[in-house]
Chain A
C-alpha cells in the first residue's frame, strides 16, 4: 500500500500525486490519499470511477479526508481494516438516517422545510457520518432536482455515505427522471437496512 499526503494541495495536485503513486504500484495494490477538502475527494472519486478502481472515502476530522483506491484485483488488506476499526470504533456503528418527509417535525411547512435543509447540512458536518440515508414518501423530493440539499448530499455520497430513495415513491410523485443523487431502492432493501441498523436517526 502507498500513502499519499496531499494535505494543503489544491486541485489537480492531489490527483497528480495519486496517479504517480498508482504508477509506482506497478500493477495492483492500494493507494491511500489524504486531502483537506471535499472537492478534492470528489475529483479523486471521479478519477477512480472513470478508471474502474475501487474507491472509498472517509472523513477523518475537520478538513481531513482519506480516499482509498483499490487498483487491479487486490483485495482490501484486512490488517488495514482492523487498524481503522481500532482507531475509531465508533465509525463501525451502522447508523441509518431515515427521511420520510420533506419537512422536519410537525407544524408549519415552511419552517419544517427550512429545518430539514438545516438538518441535512448539519448531518454532513458530523465527525461520524451515517452509513446510509433512506428517502421515502415526501422525503423522496429531497434527493431530486430542485432540492436545496443536493450539494450536502453529494458531498456525503462522495465520502462514502450510501444514499437510497424509494422507487415506488419517485414513481408516485412523478420524480423518477429527477433523481439527482444516490440510487433507487425497493421496500425489501429499506426493511433490511432498517432492521440491520445499530441506530436509526429519524428527524
Chain B
C-alpha cells in the first residue's frame, strides 16, 4: 500500500498551474516575428497549436503530461494518453503520430513503467495514430503523457472562441472526475464512482469529434484542468455572454456528495479564484458550484453549434453512447459573462 501512495500523489489535471499565474508568465515572453502560417498559437489560449503547411493541410500539435491520479499504472497510462489525444479532437483534427513523455524514478520497478506505456500505447492505436518515439527522464515522481501531432484542413479548424449569439452549448461527458479522484485519494470514494470516473476518463473524444464532422461547429474545446466554467470563460473570450442551465449539466452524482464533504482540490479553488468573478450563480447549490469549478482530467468536448443543428447533433452524440446534453446558450455580451441558473429552484 505504501508504494501505491508514492505512485499517486493526487495528479491529473488537478496538478495544473493556475490560469492566472500562467498568463502572467506567458504575456512577458519575448515574441519573435509573427509567422502567418501559425494559425493558432499560445496567445489565443486554444487547445493546441495549428500550423498551415499548404492551403489544404495544417498540422495540429499538442502535448500533455501529468502525475498519476489513480493507483493502477495501466489505467493511468490510458487516462494520460486519452487526455493528451483529446486536444487534437478539440481542434477538429485527426491523430497521426504520438511521442511518449516519461518521468520515472530510477529505483522504481520498471514493470510499472511498462504498464503505464502499455495503457498509453493502446489508446494511441485506438485513436488511429502511431507511436513514433519519446523521451524519458529520471525524476523523483512519476509523470506520463504524450506529444501528439495531427492534421486538419485549414478551413475546418474548430476554434475555441468563435461561438455565435444564439448557439446551443453541448457538453459530451459528465463533470466531477477531479473531485471523485480526490475523494478516492483519502479513501472516501465508492468503487462504483471511481470505476465510472475511470470509464469516462478513458473514453476518447474521437467518437464525439467524428460525429461533429457532419455538423457546422462554431467553437469547440475540451474541458480539462481549468474546469467547465474556466473553459467556457475562454470560449466567451470577452465577446459573448451565456447562460448555463445547471440541472441539464451532466455530472457524476457522487461528485456532488463528495463536494458536500469538502473533498476539494487546490486546483478547484484556484479555478474559482480565476473564473469566479465572471460567473453569477442563481439558486445553484454549493456542491454544484464546486463541480462546475472542478478540474477535469480527460474531460469531454464543449461544443457551440447553431440551435437548428443542436438537437440532431445531440441525438447523434447519444447514439454513440455519450452522456451528452445541451447545457446552455450563447447570448449577446452582458455585464455578467456567465449566468448559471437552476430552473428547478424557480
Main secondary structure of the interface of B (DSSP, over half): helix
Chain A contacts of B278 at CB under 8 A? 145
Which A positions have Cβ atoms within 8 angstroms of B? 10-13, 15-16, 19, 37, 39-40, 42-43, 46-47, 50, 145-146, 150-151, 154-155, 177-178, 180
Chain A contacts of B125 at CB under 8 A? none
B266 & A46 in contact (Cβ 8 Å cutoff): no
Is B182 close to A, CB under 8 A? yes
Which B positions have Cβ atoms within 8 angstroms of A? 9-10, 20, 182-183, 185-186, 261-266, 269-270, 273-274, 276-278, 286, 335-336
Closest to A13 in B: B186
A19 & B335 in contact (Cβ 8 Å cutoff): no
Q: How many residue pairs bridge A and B at CB < 8 Å? A: 56
A13–B261 Cα distance when bound, in Å, is: 12
Chain A contacts of B277 at CB under 8 A? 145-146, 150, 180
Known: A12-B182, A177-B335. 18 other contacts (CB 8 A): A11-B264, A11-B265, A12-B183, A12-B262, A13-B186, A15-B263, A15-B264, A16-B186, A16-B263, A42-B269, A42-B273, A43-B262, A43-B266, A46-B262, A46-B269, A150-B273, A150-B277, A180-B277
Distance in angstroms from B268 CB to nearest chain A CB is 8
A151 & B20 in contact (Cβ 8 Å cutoff): yes
B335 & A50 in contact (Cβ 8 Å cutoff): no
A40–B286 Cα distance when bound, in Å, is: 18
A77–B181 Cα distance when bound, in Å, is: 38
- Could you list 12 A-B pairs, sorted by A, with CB under 8 Å? A10-B9, A11-B182, A12-B262, A12-B265, A15-B263, A15-B264, A16-B186, A16-B263, A40-B266, A42-B269, A42-B273, A177-B336
Which of B10, B265, B266, B276 has the most chain A CB atoms inside 10 A of its CB? Answer: B266
Closest to A181 in B: B277
A50 & B286 in contact (Cβ 8 Å cutoff): yes
Which of B261, B265, B273 has the most chain A CB atoms inside 10 A of its CB? Answer: B273
